[in-house]
Chains A and B, each alone.
Chain A
Amino acid sequence: DIVMTQSPDSLAVSLGERATINCKSSQSVLYSSDNKNYLAWYQQKPGQPPKLLVYWASTRESGVPDRFSGSGSGTDFTLTISSLQPEDVAVYYCQQYYSSPDTFGQGTKLEIK
């Protein structure tokens, strides 16, 4: 199985400031047939299911604010929130779906400083 490792485990950022979460996969998730990285980012708030934010490493899901952006390729990926808002307090997960089974990172808890 591909192991997904996120850093940091928790993060406190001031309102309006940038938040950066990293994700590393144990092997490349770049699918050669379509040149897409099969890496997604999710946001989860208490009592709710995860919400898809980004897929293919950098494509924002419809309706997701443009302060959320994903980047990276191969094995190293980043989720950036450009200007933290109060409603962004949540746990964030990366997930690879390049090979079965899908695997998730351990999560990064984002709080307001």
Chain B
Amino acid sequence: QVQLQQSGPGLVKPSQTLSLTCAISGDSVSSNSATWNWVRQSPSRGLEWLGRTYYKSKWYNDYAVSVKSRININPDTSKNQFSLQLNSVTPEDTAVYYCARRIAVARTAYGLDVWGQGTTVTVSS
């Protein structure tokens, strides 16, 4: 059974960096048949996909344009986890952040089938 366990601070000051980690059990961050995603949810923006990392012979990243200049998603193969870094945060980045897995085999992709528990992040001084 695949599980995702999130960790990271719930309070970040404006202009600083939001950092969250998603630890994977039951699967591998280096799997050739999965992508590893970050999604956030706020009352004002609803559910918003932020980006993903995945391995297909080499590592790839893909980010939403809305955060592309401020985001990094990195795999950590030694710890079987992946992380989210969002720089220069503002109160508009206040949201519940989720990590999630998508299975993608050959040219076929599935839904986001496994989710982390969510981390409420507040941006405030």
Chain A residues at the B interface, C-beta cutoff of 8 Å: 1, 31, 33-34, 36, 38, 40, 42, 48-52, 54-56, 61, 93, 95, 97, 100-104, 106-107
CA distance A42 to B39 in the complex (A): 14
Select one of B39, B111, B118 contacting A40, CB under 8 A: B111
CA distance A102 to B115 in the complex (A): 15
- Contacts A34-B108, A101-B64, A101-B65: A52 and B47 contacting too (C-beta < 8 A)? no
Main SS of the interface on chain B? strand
- Contacts A50-B47, A101-B49, A103-B49: A40 and B65 contacting too (C-beta < 8 A)? no
- Contacts A49-B116, A97-B102: A55 and B108 contacting too (C-beta < 8 A)? no
CA distance A36 to B46 in the complex (A): 26
CA distance A38 to B107 in the complex (A): 12
Taking a contact as CB atoms under 8 Å apart, the answer to whether B49 and A38 are in contact is: no
Task: Determine the chain B residues whose CB is within 8 A of the CB of A48 once the complex forms.
Answer: 118
Interface-centre pick from A36, A48, A101 (highest chain B CB count, 10 A): A101
Taking a contact as CB atoms under 8 Å apart, the answer to whether A38 and B46 are in contact is: no
Taking a contact as CB atoms under 8 Å apart, the answer to whether B111 and A104 are in contact is: no
CA distance A61 to B47 in the complex (A): 20
3 nearest CB pairs, A to B: A40-B111, A55-B111, A49-B115
Taking a contact as CB atoms under 8 Å apart, the answer to whether B98 and A52 are in contact is: no
Task: Determine the chain A residues whose CB is within 8 A of the CB of B65 once the complex forms.
Answer: 1, 101
